[in-house]
Amino acid sequence: MASMPSIKSKEIKIVQEIPISKTLPFWETLKQGKVLATKCTKCGKLYFPPAADCPNCLSSDLEWVELSNEAEVETFTHVVIRPTSFQQNKPYTVAIGLLKEGVRVLAWLTGFKLSEIKVGMKVKLVTKITAEGNVTYEFVPIEPK
Amino acid sequence: MVDLRKVAIIGVGNSKFGNRSDVNVAELTYESVKPALQDAGLTAKDVEFVALGSVGAGAWYEELLPAVVTAEYCGLTGAGLVRCEAACASSSAAFQTASSAIASGQTEIAMALGVEKMREIDTPTAMEWIGRAGYYFWEFHNFGLTFPAYYALYANAHMAKYGTTEEDLALVAVKNHKYAAMNPLAHLQNKITVDDVLASMVIASPLKLFDCCPMTDGSAAIILASEEKVKELKIDTPIWVAGIGFSSGTANLSRRKDYVGLEASVQAAQMAYKNAGVTPNQIDLAEVHDCFTIAEILAYEDLGFCNKGEGAKLIREGQTEIGGKIPINMDGGLKAKGHPIGTTGCSMIYELTKQLREEAVEKSRQVPLKNYIALAHNVGGTGHYCYVTILRR
């Protein structure tokens, strides 16, 4: 922040409304405990995050498929210093998991001590409702602790 | 490919880097434009085309159209004008744009500029903006990734696969602080030890405060000219653009095939080496994108200065210091010189130009030259963009 003479800019509040019409089944199904991907019916390519269009073969005929919940941690980090919109959260761990189907998912990893987390460990992908009431997904231990 | 004209660097300028709350974005830009014009022996009116790299327009600083604001302040109005965005590689993109304008025959004299003002907002908000620089919707909105966190994902994967340690990462910070201490333009001029790095607070594990570059304000300007202009102006030591390479990576980190290297760096480097007709072992010195210590180790490998997985060995052996196999980041790097993100590409080229001319660089950090070839590696985002620029005297 300025330590020298300065004038404050005008304040504005920015909230964008992000369209989800084309991925609506993904968000609806999350509430039912399922994580969906899309699969191109023409070339078979699987998309996560789900895409409504396939740039591989230029088809827009994609179907919704449910992902298995079996994942292997490819990498992770524990985020201590957090951005403005996550200041109310405690430090959190983010991981990238490779699913059995070959797609990768980036999400929070919960239920472990940081020292227990290793690259290559098996985890489970589950859906979750946040404290603010939003639906999302996260990785958790395979066996409840 | 069509025949392109040769392009030379004929003037360079670099502002003091640091917390520059004494100047606004236009005044800061002037601090590099003026010396660049003086270096080339030109006036602002001689410049026909300007490409500006800057990222935070309207976000972490107040001006939405920094190209017009800075051009007006620097007397460049009337030149062709564009702002380039390639995240932290924005001014390498600007350099490529300005260089192409000359190579294609559209202009004789062009300027590549970079400017960033990162300290006008609070730090968590700056981390928010930069954390959004990936795929906001899928990787930030619910998961709050920060920029250190993106690179921390690469650090943990590299450590797990190749046995790279936190001490190895710390060695990169120690080296870059050492050279920054000799560079009066650098933001952080304090020497540090491995223990200092290891004892600093965790930002996103395994990266700690001293593994991270600072939030820096700064500008850099590069003036480019055609071979005909170089002769006409009687430029005594032109530095030639030998080859440029570029590539990109997926927005979602979850769409990458691994986390132990940046594919965009590998591809951009291969293209640059091919275009310049050189191999990695001909490079006398390099500026690489060390926004975090792990990024410098990835760069050693991705640019072919060592084999995959041997980056840590290179730093352990001191091979990237003066006297080593390939001196790297002799200005202190992003890590200690500072990383005003839209400025970094042009600032790397500023440093390499000074080194290749063997002038004005503090003697203690002048690299002994053999082939008079140098390389700048500038990554945007977390391997989202990459530009590699090879220069030759």
Q: Do A86 and B144 touch (CB under 8 A)?
A: yes
Q: Are the beta carbons of A94 and A108 closer than 8 angstroms? A: yes
Check A108 against B143: CB less than 8 A apart: yes
**CATH code 2.40.50.840 region(s) in chain A:** 68-145
| pLDDT mean values, one per 10 residues, chain A (145 residues) | 84 95 96 97 98 97 96 98 95 98 97 97 96 92 85
pLDDT of residue B131: 93
Q: Is the pLDDT of residue B259 over 80?
A: yes
Give B317-337 as a DSSP string.
TTTTSTTSSS-B-TT-HHHHT
Position B1 pLDDT exceeds 70: no
- Is residue B339 flagged as an active site residue? yes
Provide the pLDDT confidence category of residue B67 given band limits of 50, 70 and 90: very high
Whether the complex's predicted ipTM is more than 0.90 is answered with: yes
Residues of A in contact with B204 (CB under 8 A): 77-81
Phi, psi of B358 (to 5 degrees): 55, 40
pLDDT tens per residue, range B323-336: 999 999 999 999 99
pTM for this model (two decimals): 0.97
Q: Show which residues on chain A lie within 8 Å of chain B, measured between beta carbons.
A: 1-4, 6, 9, 18, 48-49, 74-87, 89, 92, 94, 96, 103-108, 114, 118-120, 130, 134, 136
Q: Are A96 and A75 in contact (CB under 8 A)?
A: yes
Of B155, B204, B254, the CB nearest to A80: B204
H helix or E strand, kind and range, residue B98: helix B90-103
Size (chain A), residues: 145
How far, in Å, CA of B91 to CA of B97, rounded?
Answer: 9
Residue B360 has pLDDT above 80, yes or no: no
Label residue B349 by pLDDT band (50, 70, 90): very high
**pLDDT recorded at residue A3:** 74
Residue B223: its pLDDT value, please? Answer: 98
Chain B, nearest residue to A11 by Cα: B62
Distance from CA of A137 to the nearest CA of B (A): 9
DSSP B306: S
Our CA dihedral for B39, B42, B47, B52, rounded to 10 degrees, sits at: 20
What does the pLDDT read at residue A102? Answer: 96
B60: three-class secondary structure by DSSP: coil
User: Is a pLDDT exceeding 80 seen at residue B155?
Assistant: yes
| Residues on chain B touching A83 (C-beta within 8 angstroms) | 124-125, 127-128, 131, 144, 146
Whether residue B119 and residue A120 make contact (CB cut-off 8 A), yes or no, is no
Contacts of B154 in chain A (CB under 8 A): 75
Q: Once rounded to an integer, what is the mean pLDDT over residues B50-55? A: 98
- Smallest CA-to-CA distance from A102 within A65, A55, A137 is with A65
Q: Measured in whole angstroms, how far is the alpha carbon of residue A50 from the centre of its chain?
A: 11
Share of chain B above pLDDT 70, in %: 99
Query: How far, in Å, CA of B340 to CA of B263, rounded?
Result: 24
What per-residue confidence (pLDDT) applies to B2? 62
B88 is catalytic: yes
Residue-level pLDDT at A133? 86
Q: Which of B339, B346, B377, B384 is catalytic?
A: B339
Mutate to test the interface with B, among A6, A81, A101 (most CBs of B within 10 A): A81
Determine the residue of chain B that is closest to A107 in CA distance.
B143
B64 CB burial (10 A radius; 0-12, 13-18, 19+): exposed
Give the tokens for residue A108: 């929070």
- Cβ of A1 within 8 Å of Cβ of B142? The answer is no
pLDDT tens, residue by residue, B165-213: 999 999 999 999 999 999 999 999 999 999 999 999 999 999 999 999 9
Six-digit token string for B262: 């940046």
> B7-121+215-232, what's its fold?
Peroxisomal Thiolase; Chain A, domain 1 (3.40.47)
Q: Give pLDDT, residue A131.
A: 81
Q: What single DSSP character describes residue B350?
A: H
CB B259 within 8 A of CB A96: yes
- Does A68-145 carry CATH code 2.40.50.840? yes
How many helices (DSSP H) and strands (DSSP E) are in chain A?
Answer: 1, 8
Tell me whether residues A77 and B254 touch, CB distance under 8 A.
no
Give the minimum alpha-carbon distance from B245 to chain A in angstroms, rounded to a whole number: 25
State which amino acid sits at residue B382: T
Distance in Å, alpha carbon of A64 to nearest chain B alpha carbon: 18
Taking contacts as CB-CB distances below 8 angstroms, the residues of chain A near B62 are: 9
Instruction: Give the residue from B28, B132, B169, B202 with the most A CB atoms within 10 Å of its CB, the best one to mutate.
Output: B202
Chain A: nearest CA to B371, how far in angstroms? 40
Query: What number is the average pLDDT over the span B47-72?
Result: 97
How far apart CA B381 and CA B288 sit, in angstroms, is 14
Say if residues B202 and B283 touch (Cβ distance below 8 Å).
Answer: no
Span B66-92, mean pLDDT?
98
Interface of B with A in 173-232 (CB under 8 A): 201-207
Q: Which of B122, B149, B157 has its CB closest to that of A1?
A: B122
List B residues 147-166 in contact with A (Cβ-Cβ < 8 A): 148-149, 152-157, 160-161
What end-to-end distance do the CA atoms of chain B give, in Å?
A: 24
Mean pLDDT of B46-66: 97
Average pLDDT, chain B: 97
